[in-house]
């Protein structure tokens, strides 16, 4: 561990939000910018048992590698509460009438054919955040003169201000503090965001609901397989989980996380009991999934898109992750996009050559230059993913039957064209870069 520096900070950074993206950024900034001060704000209380948060996250291979580089993936592995993704299988329920091949078109991407140990992994939110938080709190304890964690401190506003030392961004929390750079990493889910302002960009309610929970599969089900199934109502996905019960006190077995998206105006899930839901799911997914033996209680979440056209505002405030864009879960890439934001933001900041003799004007100029570089490099990847998920999400609301045929022909073409499939696999693992 590097020894704490004794010089005055050359750059002051505030991070709003102690979720996985905010904590990952804080940890990496503390190491990559050893003379910068880093303060993390979060509204949740310090004693909240974050490890119990069971929300499911799909991590790409690039995200797993990034977590490994910052020393957190080993801690996650030791918990045993993660499952590798060894294959991604995509198909659709509606038949593709013009398909010339045998059977129906599908796409299968395996780790073996891509020459990697795994395509990604599935973890719970708590399994990911708990070691990130522990590592960050340890860093704060060892270097408390420049690192700080403000639990129970909601940020009520940000304001560009002129000070005796130059310009900065005032963070309105318990007290007003001024920083050279503020990173907003607290976005929440779509249902939490009507109160947020989206002055520039796209805000769209898909009028869809995601039913989220877990299923128990028969023991012969394929290990490490993730399934995406396009249905007339919307996409449904199963993500591999480590063995265990799908409800407290229930039978332990092979599990998968379920994300079942349907149209809100014609919801085929809401009125069903758990036995009926299990029956429908067994008819919805292909036979290769295996029998679904049990379904947990499901929670419903409204789905929509909020995406700022720019990542940078006021020249010293930058948004990452859900604070910049909240996506439909059809591709399962929202958090991975956040981690690529973190990586590129740090790369941009590291290139600026921060020095102890920088005055406020020089720091301001370097921050602006770094954020311009960050935004320029991140926009192609994020816009491609926003556009692709938005198109897929809206396509399920279009009544023309030909759309299912076009989608099916597209799946078949990807499977039959290895260079296209490799490109698609790489985009899932590492993004469009």
Helix axes 360-395, 334-350, angle to 10 degrees: 160
Query: By three-state DSSP, how is residue 218 classified?
Result: coil
Q: Are strands 36-41 and 147-150 parallel, antiparallel or unpaired?
A: parallel
Q: Which two tokens stand for residue 31?
A: 């190491």
Please give the span between the terminal C-alpha atoms of the chain, in angstroms, as a whole number. Answer: 32
Neighbours of 209 (CB within 10 A): 21
Q: Which two tokens stand for residue 365?
A: 């100029």
Check residue 164 and give its pLDDT.
58
Rg (the chain; Cα; Å): 23
Q: Are strands 56-60 and 225-230 parallel, antiparallel or unpaired?
A: unpaired
- Give this prediction's pTM: 0.90
Q: Are strands 181-184 and 11-16 parallel, antiparallel or unpaired?
A: parallel
Please say if the pLDDT value at position 422 is more than 50.
yes
Give the domains, in start order, of the chain with CATH numbers: 11-52+128-202+304-392 (3.50.50.60), 75-123+207-303+398-430 (3.30.9.10)
Q: How many CA atoms lie within 13 A of 346 on its CB side?
A: 22
Q: How many CA atoms lie within 13 A of 290 on its CB side?
A: 18
Please state, in angstroms and rounded to a whole number, the distance separating the CA atoms of residues 157 and 409: 49
Please say if the pLDDT value at position 2 is more than 60.
no
Least confident of 40-49, 155-164, 405-414: 155-164
Check residue 61 and give its pLDDT.
95
Please state, in angstroms and rounded to a whole number, the distance separating the CA atoms of residues 377 and 336: 16
Mean pLDDT rounded to a whole number for the chain: 89
Please state, in angstroms and rounded to a whole number, the distance separating the CA atoms of residues 183 and 14: 6
Evaluate whether 239 touches 332 at the Cβ level (below 8 Å): yes
Check residue 197 and give its pLDDT.
53
Please say if the pLDDT value at position 247 is more than 80.
yes
Please say if the pLDDT value at position 43 is more than 50.
yes
Kindly state the percentage of the chain with pLDDT values over 70.
93
Which helix (H) or strand (E) is 252 found in, with range?
A: none
Question: What average pLDDT does this structure show over 108-113?
Answer: 96
Closest among 200, 183, 162, 148 to 316, alpha carbons compared: 183
């Amino acid at each position: 561990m590097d020894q704490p520096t004794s010089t005055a900070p050359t750059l002051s950074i505030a991070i709003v939000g102690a979720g996985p993206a905010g904590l990952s950024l804080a940890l990496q900034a503390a190491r990559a910018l050893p003379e910068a001060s880093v303060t993390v704000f979060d509204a949740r209380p310090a004693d909240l048992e974050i490890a119990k948060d069971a929300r499911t996250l799909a991590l790409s291979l690039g995200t797993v590698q990034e977590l490994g580089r910052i020393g957190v993936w080993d801690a996650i592995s030791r918990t045993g509460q993660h499952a590798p993704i060894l294959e991604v299988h995509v198909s659709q329920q509606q038949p593709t009438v013009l398909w010339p091949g045998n059977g129906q078109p599908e796409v299968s991407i395996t780790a073996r054919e891509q020459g990697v140990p795994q395509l990604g992994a599935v973890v719970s939110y708590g399994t990911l955040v708990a070691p990130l938080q522990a590592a960050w709190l340890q860093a704060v304890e060892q270097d408390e003169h420049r690192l700080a964690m403000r639990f129970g401190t909601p940020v009520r506003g940000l304001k560009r201000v002129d000070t005796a030392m130059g310009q900065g961004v005032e963070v309105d929390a318990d007290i007003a503090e001024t920083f050279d750079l503020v990173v907003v990493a607290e976005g929440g889910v779509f249902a939490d965001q009507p109160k947020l302002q989206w002055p520039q960009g796209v805000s769209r309610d898909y009028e869809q609901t995601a039913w989220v929970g877990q299923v128990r599969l028969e023991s012969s089900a394929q290990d490490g397989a993730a399934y995406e199934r396009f249905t007339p109502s919307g996409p449904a996905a199963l993500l591999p989980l480590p063995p265990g019960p799908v409800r407290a006190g229930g039978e332990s077995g092979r599990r998968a996380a379920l994300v079942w998206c349907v149209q809100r105006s014609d919801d085929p899930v809401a009125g069903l009991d758990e036995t009926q839901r299990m029956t429908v799911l067994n008819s919805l997914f292909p036979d290769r999934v295996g029998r679904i033996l049990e379904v947990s209680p499901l929670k419903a979440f409204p789905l929509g898109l909020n995406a700022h056209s720019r990542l940078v505002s006021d020249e010293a405030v930058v948004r990452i992750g859900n604070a910049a864009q909240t996506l439909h879960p059809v591709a399962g890439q929202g958090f991975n996009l956040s981690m690529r934001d973190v990586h590129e933001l740090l790369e941009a900041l590291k290139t600026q050559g921060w020095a102890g003799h920088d005055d406020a004007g020089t720091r301001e100029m370097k921050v602006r230059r770094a954020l311009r570089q960050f935004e320029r490099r991140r926009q192609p990847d994020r816009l491609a993913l926003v556009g692709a998920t938005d198109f897929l999400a809206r396509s399920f609301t279009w009544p023309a039957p030909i759309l299912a045929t076009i989608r099916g022909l597209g799946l078949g073409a990807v499977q039959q064209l290895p260079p296209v499939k490799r490109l698609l696999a790489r985009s899932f693992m590492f993004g469009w870069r």
